[in-house]
A and B are shown apart, each in its own frame.
Chain A
Amino acid sequence: MLLALDLDAEGRVLDARVIESGGEAFDQAILAAILDFRFSPALDARRAPVPAQVQYLYRFRLEVQATVAVRGDVRAGGTREALVGASVMAEQVPMTPLPEGEEPRRVSVQSGADGRFELAGLDPGRWRLLAGAPGFGIEELEVEVTGGEVLEVAFHLSPDRPWEAPEVGETIEIIGYRLPPEITERRLDQDQVRVLPGTGGDVIRAVQTQPGVARTPFNAGTLLVRGMPADASAFYLGGVGIPVVFHFGGLSTAVNGDLLSEVVFLPGSYGVRYGRTMGGVVDLAPTTAPAERTQGYASIDLFQAAVMHEQVLSKRASVTLSLRRSYLDTILSPIVNTQDDYTVRLPRYMDGQLRAIYRDDRGMVVQGMVLGSDDRFTYDQTDSDGDRTESRLDLRFLKGWASWTMPLGRGWQSELALMAGPEQLAAEYLSDEEAYEKAQREHLRLELSRPVPEGGVIGWRLGVDLELSHEEYSYQVEDLDGFFLYADDEEGAARVFLPGVYLEQVQKQGPVQVIPGLRLDWMRTDDDYQAQIVDPRIRVRWEVTPSTVVNAGAGQYSQFPLLREVMDNGTGVPRLDPEHAIQVSVGARQQLLPALSLEGTAYGAALSDLVVGHDDRFTFELAPPPMAPYDTDAYANEGTGRVLGLELLTRYEDPRWLAFAAITLSRSTRVEREGQARTLFEYDQPVLLTLVGSHRLPRGWRVGGRARLTSGNPYTPVVNRIYDLDEQGWLPVFAESNVERLPAWASLDLRVDKEWTFRLWSLTLYLDVQNLTNRRNVELLNFSPDFATEIPVYGLPILPTFGLRGAW
């Protein structure tokens, strides 16, 4: 029988149609059964999994069944995944020694798609059963076969050389399309991220190793993408915005990466699905299918402990619980607290997610998740009078997330996603000063899409992207003593309404696809602020050959000012407009070998209407604030900028190797105010070089390394100082902005994993050594209080960490 199948990106069958009938009874039987089949995902030219339409030939075979004596299943030890095509052999154990030259009787079968096997026609007596599969060791057991009784056995094979295991499923040919991938779209698979050296297995820290992403000092929790500021990057969870993506210090992503199927990183020139941001986009994509088996893990490492359990409720539904807590505060706080007059309670964080997912036979997926995160940092000080004061920083959110995706027929698919709940960032400083930002935010996305149908020329994507929030902020820090001086106390509150709509059309002419799109966004506050954005974008994709793809894109990417900037504390600032970036990029990807690819992207951006001013106002910093002259004038859309860059990425990936080399050359400049000189962007890093390799060895070993070399950040030197007698302190006199550069930054990281596999669970021990050469990298430049001495602040010394992970 010949069938036409619609497969999703994970190889599941969404729809099946009979092309060549095998008779009505067979047709009905196979159409009922085929929905449970699972195929290897189709890969596009960049080896990214994509939905596909395939033709599938199924042959029915009539056999005369002998009596089944033994049945069972063959699974991989530890993960308990069914092994397809494993060999199971039964060898009769003779009661007496066999005459020379006579072989014992043997019966062999192979396991089916679910790992099950049956051995039939075994005579009563003792039999030795052996099971083996490519890449796995051989397991042996003896059974006693008695007539009329079926023995049930289970094999759990220990993975020995797992890369030799064949991929499960049929070879399929891609004959259909979905909406094409973005010009530069990097998908990170969670299984690869987990063993990436130097990242601690964290998904967003893995994104930070991608080309086009500049280093932030101390690997702080932010993304600096293609010369854009940190607040120009946006983070999503399943298509809707997530308030915080990093815990304090960038140690960990605020959502457990094991809930995700992948991380989509779009550094620029992306389609209209994402808006209200000028820079890169990271979309954390939760898994879209219920767990196939009950599984979980518990892990501990230097920073945190985590437990996750995924419970299968039925064939179509599962529920997952994840809890994590850091204990950096418990371990390291005593080391930091060497002085009597203050106590630092180092950052600690905890997060949890509870998710339920249901997927029906037609491909409809409904998910619901409750996710929460709580970060805390405290600092106690005892002053000369013996009075104790505590400073505290809290960052927390509690969100509900829901997603509903459904095939609508005729190739259309709908996606509805919603995130809602409170979020808060609050700081209480010494001397009763405090600052906070609170929001109750709801974000909803409804998207309809239809890929170009087989033989067709037009595809569509249209959607509504709606955000409604009540935001409140207060910065009562004017009298804060110490390192930072803030000009004004501020407070404000408003309801903010951010509706957006977008439409994108895919026009396919042979190997060329042209994808024009338009995105419209509005911002309205109950404080009577209104602004709108019209962002036209176009992308072109040309599949020159099956292994060569050329992309180009151009468009406008805009973002609204912050609420505090448009409210401005009622001081009557002129109305602010959205900030804009015109992005252009041209790229090509060449599949040199099945496992080796090379891609390059040249990009540029012209930034305009950037909001500048009021540097002297308090902000919750995303990165260490630069030591530079303050622009204390009123907010204005006067900033402009230019970005030029080239990214090159070569990647090698086979079952044993994962390796890539990435180099980024870029230049990012700014003109802060009209008439001022052009200066370097504060995180301009002309050269970023990353080399990563990870290699699987026999017996559960894996070794990997990462080498990074980046230019140092620019900085503004202090060339003189003024003594302020009223404050009894020094004021710096700066040179021209960002005329000096910190030394280049380099680091070599190493990771070794060893996995022990048992029948029902596995244990992994890893050692991750960051900065193996103990290089003293200057992350920041501080100054003595009199500004006479530059004090380099160094990054982490050699940092060996280890972790244990037990998975079941």
Chain B
Amino acid sequence: MSKRISDDELIDEFLLVKQFLDEVTKKLPIWLKTNAEELKDVLEELESHIWDKASELAQSEDPQVQHVREAIDQMGNPRKIAKEYRKRGKPKFYITEELWPWYYKSLIIVGVLVFFVNLITMAFTVGKGQAGQVIAQMFEGMFTGFAIGFAAISLVFVQLSMHGFLPKDLRVERITAIKEPKIKKPAKPKKPKRVISSQGGFLIEGILGLSFGFLLIFFPFFNYTPYYVFDMTLLVPWIRYFGGILVISGFIRFSQALIGDHLRLQQLFLGLYLVPQSLIIALFLQLQYNTAILKDPLLTSFPGADIGLYILIGVVFVCVATAIGMITEISKIIRLEFKGFSEEQLRIS
């Protein structure tokens, strides 16, 4: 019976059924409660059963309160009924087999984010303490971040498994307006857009990084500082460090060119690429913090010039650009996890 009127008007037997169904609804898992159609289906089926049973108990007369009450008693505990609806998925170490890929991906994302946040934090602390202390703080931060992230993600997924969530319940459906279909000329099939550069692209980046890096490290004119217009005593090692970072970056890109379409290794190297990028931020911040490297010598050579402002603008520009680059790398790691190498194809190795 689907006769539903306000609580005050409900006659007792209807109220009893309503109370029972409300009790079951309260304890149902969220994925079922939020699916209006499925919820209606579940409740209608239970309600129909109660009225069938009550009618049988009333021996084909109109069921009275006591018949409905007995029928409800025989239905069992609402909590137990609701619990049965939660049983979805195959259990595997407290998390259902269906949710394992999501669990795994979430851990990777959290891991990458923790790594990134700690690198950025380290970049801002360089120059404010001993190198060993800064690195130790970074590792401590990473360890704590990984441990908290791991515990939190595991707890969430155990709970989701216990409530019978499946990956399809976690996906957000895109609601798009229905548009009039336009008649278009058949377009040429486009090449699927790659999430990361092609092997050729990585190779070029690698070669450029290695060449410029080594050039800056071994730049021969560094030995002839008297020819320069200002004192380069501290700037030379700075440029050599920069060259070293470019060499590391180039080496990583070169390795990526050799790896090809190996998902996990590409993700690993994209993650490793964050290291030289964060070092670039640290190195440029040194120009701001340690004025003896660039500002003081330039001021000696160009007294009265607003050198400090130009350096600040340059440092901010490089740091922001590098940070954006790092975020792009992280997004590539995540997109690789979910979409594979091409945006249009799903591919997980």
**A and B physically associate:** no
Q: CB within 8 Å of A: which residues of B?
A: none
